[in-house]
Amino acid sequence: MSTAGLQAEIQVTRPEGFELDVDITVRPGATLALLGPNGAGKTSVVAAIAGLLPLDAGRIELGGSVLDDPAAGIFVAPEDRRVGVVFQDYLLFPHLSVMENVAFGLRRWVGRGEALMGAGEWMERLGLDGLADRRPATLSGGQAQRVALARALAGRPDVLLLDEPLAALDVVERARQRRTLAAHLDMFSGPRVLITHDPVEAFLLADDIQIIEHGSTTQRGDADEIRLRPRSQYAADLAGVNLVTGTASGGEVAVGSHTIHVADHQVEGEVLLTIQPAAVSVHRARPSGSQRNSWVTRVDRLEQLGERARLRTSEPLPLTVEITRAATQDLGIREGSEIWVALKATEIDVVPDEGRAGRR
């Protein structure tokens, strides 16, 4: 195992009974996104690595040295860890100027004058020149985010933790900062952990994605794996794909009272089906051809997304379906319309649902 990166087995029980049990590994120069809904425990992961939340069990190792290991009686205080944190709402010190904020973490290494000089260099690197004497309250969201990043990086950390760094920004600013953040992250050669609930942010900024739900990891992989083979409803919703659970037997999967034919005849038992919205075709009448999966349903909801339209079908198997806008017009589809949907068996991705089977 490499010693230069971050390895953490984090087990914490919070007073209100919430249990967090997450393992993460990040190599230097790589970005791991922890993606999950609010309240999943992502921020606690950051707090544990930063030493603000002591572990109940597990172990945190950074750059070859152990930061927290309750079993061995090791706990390194936050101020003795070399951890750079960009906090959720930045937490810039309101009584200090931008430059003094950036210099704050340098003071542990050098005197005031040298710290301010070092801060100046970081501010230049992050495009903050000219803001040195401003107070944090007068900054735009994007500027504040970059000051927070400069402050975290200036302290020469061994790991960079970013807790929802773009969540405080408005939509336009977020898109812009996402691009610059990607460039800024490359300035840091150590391991980086990005906490986010925005899949786009995770897909764009991270090398690996780990999905955290209810205090534990539900999936780990790169962006394509998460998108094409989501393993939980949450992940599927993020990716916009349909995720259906059922019971497989000889190429047939029972989903409630409905049966879906799949190409894989080997898989048995509890399965997860992933159906891409664009893989479903829509017709006015029973489709001819060889498709074995087709049924009649109704359009519950219809959304126009530029040249594409997204519709939500009702019983017997609610699905999100994506077709061209032209097709909705040709077929005269509106909310409440009765339609036929069809689905090729080969378009359905089937994986054993280990999580569900394991809980049995």
Which of 83, 166 has the CB closer to another protein?
A: 83
Q: Considering the rule CB under 8 A, would residue 277 count as an interface residue with another protein?
A: no
Q: How far apart are CA 30 and CA 91, in angstroms?
A: 25
| Six token digits for residue 341 | 């949907």
Looking at the DSSP assignment, which residues form a beta bridge with residue 283?
Answer: 340
Q: Which of 37, 78, 221, 352 binds another protein (CB under 8 A)?
A: 78
Neighbours of 324 (CB within 10 A): 12
Residue 151's alpha-carbon distances to 26, 99, 314, in angstroms, are 22, 9, 51
**Residue of 118, 142, 155, 165 interacting with another protein (CB under 8 A):** 155
Which C-beta is closer to another protein: that of 109 or that of 300? 109
Q: Min. distance of Cβ 105 from another protein in angstroms?
A: 4
Map tokens 């986010």 to a residue. 196
Considering the rule CB under 8 A, would residue 165 count as an interface residue with another protein? no
- What is the smallest separation between the CB atom of 89 and another protein, expressed in angstroms? 9
Residue 108 or 325 with smaller CB distance to another protein = 108
| Contact letters for another protein, residues 46-65 (x by CB under 8 A) | ----xxx-------------
Query: Which of 107, 261, 292, 344: binder of another protein (CB under 8 A)?
Result: 107
**105 near another protein, rule: CB under 8 A:** yes
Q: Could you tell me the smallest distance in angstroms from the CB atom of residue 88 to another protein? A: 9
Q: Is the CB of 163 or the CB of 270 nearer to another protein? A: 163
Distances (CA, A) of 349 to 48, 109, 262: 37, 54, 8
Half-sphere exposure of 164 (CA within 13 A, CB side): 18
Interface with another protein includes 295 (CB under 8 A)? no
188: left (phi over 0), alpha (psi -120 to 50) or beta: beta
The answer to whether 192 contacts another protein (rule: CB under 8 A) is no
- The smaller minimum CB distance to another protein, of residues 12 and 85, is found at 85
Q: Which is nearer to another protein, 37 or 78 (CB)?
A: 78
- How far apart are the C-alpha atoms of 90 and 162, rounded to whole Å? 10
Interaction of residue 79 with another protein, rule CB under 8 A? yes
Integer Cα distance of 141 and 143 in angstroms: 5
Secondary structure of residue 282 in the 3-state scheme: strand
- x/- site string to another protein, residues 81 to 100, per CB under 8 A? x-xxx-x---x-xxxx----
Residue 176 is encoded by which pair of tokens? Answer: 């812009």
Distance CA 87, CA 149 (A): 9
CB 278: neighbour CB atoms within 10 A? 15
Question: What is the contact surface with another protein in residues (CB under 8 A)?
Answer: 50-52, 77-81, 83-85, 87, 91, 93-96, 104-105, 107-108, 151-152, 155
